[in-house]
Structure 1
Amino acid sequence: MFIVFLNFTDKRERAPALMAEHNEWLQQGFADQVFVLAGSVAPARGGAIIAHNVTREDIESRVSEDPLVTEGIVAAEIIELTPTKVAQSLALLDAEVAA
């Protein structure tokens, strides 16, 4: 499982022009069942995504295709997380819990 932080750079003022493309990129991640959560990081620092069912190589490749990343509007930080406990409400993540 991965947590991806998309931290604004000094080019953040260009973000609105690419938000439609970024949202399409996000939607594809959800359609592929890789992204399970996405949202803004307050206060206006950028965004974050929780991804699963993907290798580090695959998530790095996918993130590199985000229009905000390719245009240098955000810098991506990818953190790998190995869950050891999962709330029942997040049962879809059970397969990732270490035995």
Structure 2
Amino acid sequence: MFIVALSYIAPLEEIDAQLAQHVLWLKQCYADGLFLASGRKEPRTGGIILARGERQALQQRLAQDPFALAGLARYDITEFHPSITAPGLEGLADTAVEPAP
């Protein structure tokens, strides 16, 4: 599983001009089963994406984001293995990883 921290590197006016296309791209990533959750940072300096799958596939998909294509954002990817989850999120747990005592 991955946490993607997206950081804007352009003024919000330029971000807003690409926002509708970015949202369409997000929806396709959800439809393809790649993304689990996403949303804006507060203050509005970027966003966070929770993704699954393979790193290379994720990197390729992030490169197709309209924000990336327009040079408006930077993407930092952190891989993690959830070992403990809240009730209702058990499907996110990595069963190959033992929870810490």
Superposed pair shares fold, TM > 0.5: yes
TM-score by length of 2: 0.87
Q: What's the counterpart of residue 22 of structure 1? A: 22
Q: Which amino acid aligns with 1:5?
A: A
CA offset digits 1:39-58 (Å, max 9, x no partner): 00010111110001x10101
Aligned residues: 97
CA distance in 2, matches of 1:92, 1:31: 18
Q: What's the counterpart of residue 64 of structure 1? A: 63
Q: What's the counterpart of residue 91 of structure 2? A: 92
Q: What's the counterpart of residue 10 of structure 1? A: 10
CA distance in 1, matches of 2:50, 2:30: 10
CA distance in 2, matches of 1:90, 1:72: 35
CA offset digits 1:3-40 (Å, max 9, x no partner): 01110103443111111110011001111111111100
CA positional deviation for 1:75: 0.6
Cα RMSD between the aligned structures?
A: 1.3
Could you say which structure has the larger radius of gyration?
A: 2
Where do 5+ consecutive residues of structure 1 fail to align? none
Q: Which protein is richer in helix relative to its size?
A: 1
Q: Which amino acid aligns with 2:59?
A: E
Q: Secondary structure at the match of 2:88?
A: helix
CA distance in 2, matches of 1:71, 1:83: 33
Counterpart contact for 1:34–1:51, Cα < 8 Å:
yes
Where do 5+ consecutive residues of structure 2 fail to align? none
Q: Which amino acid aligns with 2:77?
A: I
